[in-house]
Amino acid sequence: MTSSFKTPPPDILDKLIDNCLKAGASAADCSLGISEGVSVDVRGGTLENVERSESQGVSLRVLFGRRQAHVSGSDLSDDALKTMAERCVAMARAVPEDKYAGLADPDLLAKDPPALDLEGDGEIALERLEADAIEAEKAALAVSGVKTVSACGNGWSRSERWVAASNGFSSYLSGGSTGLGLAAVAERDGAMERDYDSWNVRKMADMPSPGEIGRTAGERAVARLGPRKVKTQKASVIYDRRVSSSLLSAFLSAISGPSVARGVSFLKDRLNEKVFADGINIVDDPFLEKALGCRNHDGEGLPVERKLLIDDGELTRWLLNTASASQLGLKPNGFASGGFGNPPGVGTSNTHIEAGTQSPEDMMRAAGKGLLVTDMFGPSINPNTGDYSVGVAGFWFENGEIQYPVSEVTIAGDLPSIFARLVPASDLEFRGRMNAPSLLVEDMSIAGN
């Protein structure tokens, strides 16, 4: 199969912006995106479903003074784009004013953003996708105790995106990825447990073999059989690296410029203060090799670079776009997200907590006893205070060794004190846009029996 897309006219976004300005807009930005991909599902060693997706669309944001509106569509004809521009300008005239709406200052824009190689394998043969998924399923089913594989999928995708704005900024970026994942169900004495493994990478060569992925999913499911509850107590908790990035996500939400500007962040008064322990560094790196969150400018066209969000435990900056920076009396700092056809939000690229020196096994031995968390359900966070609780499953350990699986347990605390005492392990692995090694937090409240 080959793509049905044709390369869009190179001036399509310029024409769209020009139509907006002619219709009375004071400013505009827009984007054009094209994507395609194929996914397969297998069950019982045979191909169950094949889905090919192809999409193209244009998004437009228009400003009329401090009023803004945004629309999107898929018709790229000249008449359709002219109509889109006129309608969006009319909408912008009618909505309430937002005193912080606007495009980035042209003097702050990225000049000649660096080229990034984000290409994947391109189109992967359907036969290869099917064979790898069947191999993964077979490996999971070969694990003693696995009853079935509830889902097994494989696929690839590719996208291209052009952006432009009336302040003079324009850019193009393309990329691709491939992913394989499955969920295995294990059974013992009529009770069943489920677990999974999945990978999404730029290129197939960077993921484990299908057999290894399937075997990992199966072994994880079997290990969860026969779970117990634990007594309510305070003990050490180790967040496995599969779930530890949830704490990183909570931190990023707390340093979001819009949240700080609204006063709904438990870190709103902590800029340039110690938030984590000495030696803790949190890094955002838009140029991390092979990573999925790479970008060469932010969502408003500002330059990006590798930055420490936490430097030796100290909070160094908020995540700001133009609007939140204006609210706080600061300058935007390259953390706008989305944008170009939509009001920009804030966000990071590839963010990680740097690894520590101890292995998770060494941490267990040092802690003596506690809970290793491998799965989480519905975390509850008070954004004003940082009060935190979450349902978890995992494994109880004593004398530094795993004793038995645990489920139906809640752990709780407050994020400021959790951040202040967490200790990273040495097992950092880059699997997504946010990554963290296993994290030890001592003296957490565990609610069980």
- Domains of the chain (ranges; CATH) run 12-220 (3.30.2290.10), 227-449 (no CATH)
Which residue from 72, 76, 75 is spatially nearest to 60, judged by alpha carbons?
72
User: Cα angle at 432 between 308 and 396, to 5 degrees?
Assistant: 95
Contact between 251 and 419 under an 8 Å Cβ cutoff? The reply is: yes
> Which residues partner with 409 through β-bridges?
392
Per DSSP, the residues of 333-353 read -S-EES-SSS--EE--SSEEE
In the DSSP assignment, the letter for residue 106 is G
Amino acid at 150: S
Query: Residues 412, 414, 418, CA angle at the centre, nearest 5°?
Result: 95
Q: What pLDDT shows up at residue 112?
A: 87
Question: 311 to each of 249, 283, 330, 348, 433, how far by Cα in Å?
Answer: 17, 8, 20, 16, 20
Among 84, 83, 55, which residue's Cα sits nearest to residue 70?
Answer: 84
Spatial contact of 373 and 392, defined as CB atoms under 8 Å apart: yes
DSSP character at residue 103: P
What pLDDT was estimated at residue 6?
Answer: 56
439, 239 Cβ separation under 8 angstroms:
yes
Closest CA to 418 of 234, 247, 232: 247
H helical segments located in 176-328: 210-223, 245-254, 257-262, 322-328
**Residue at 28: amino acid letter:** A
Residue identified by tokens 């850019």 is: 171
In tens digits, what is the pLDDT along the chain, a chain of 449 residues?
344 455 666 689 999 999 999 999 999 999 999 999 999 999 999 999 999 999 999 999 999 999 999 999 999 999 999 999 999 999 999 999 999 999 999 999 999 888 899 999 999 999 999 999 999 999 999 999 999 999 999 999 999 999 999 999 999 999 999 999 999 999 999 999 999 999 999 999 999 999 999 999 999 999 999 999 999 999 999 999 999 999 999 999 999 999 999 999 999 999 999 999 999 999 999 999 999 999 999 999 999 999 999 999 999 999 999 999 999 999 999 999 999 999 999 999 999 999 999 999 999 999 999 999 999 998 999 999 999 999 999 999 999 899 999 999 999 999 999 999 999 999 999 999 999 999 999 999 999 88
Residue-level pLDDT at 109: 98
pLDDT of 378: 85
Task: For residue 254, give the nearest of 239, 244, 264 by alpha carbon.
Answer: 264
Residue type, 331: K
Choose among 248, 333, 318, 244: nearest CA to 282: 248
CA 228 to chain centre: 32
Tokens encoding 366: 């040092």
User: What tokens appear for 28 in the block?
Assistant: 């505009």
Q: What pLDDT does residue 9 have?
A: 67
Q: Of 84, 83, 424, which is closest to residue 238 (Cα–Cα)?
A: 424
- Cα(145)–Cα(142) distance, rounded to whole angstroms? 9
Token readout for 244 is 């530890």
Give the other-Cβ count within 10 Å of 172's Cβ.
14
Q: How many CA atoms lie within 13 A of 5 on its CB side?
A: 20
Q: Find the largest Cα–Cα distance for the chain.
A: 74
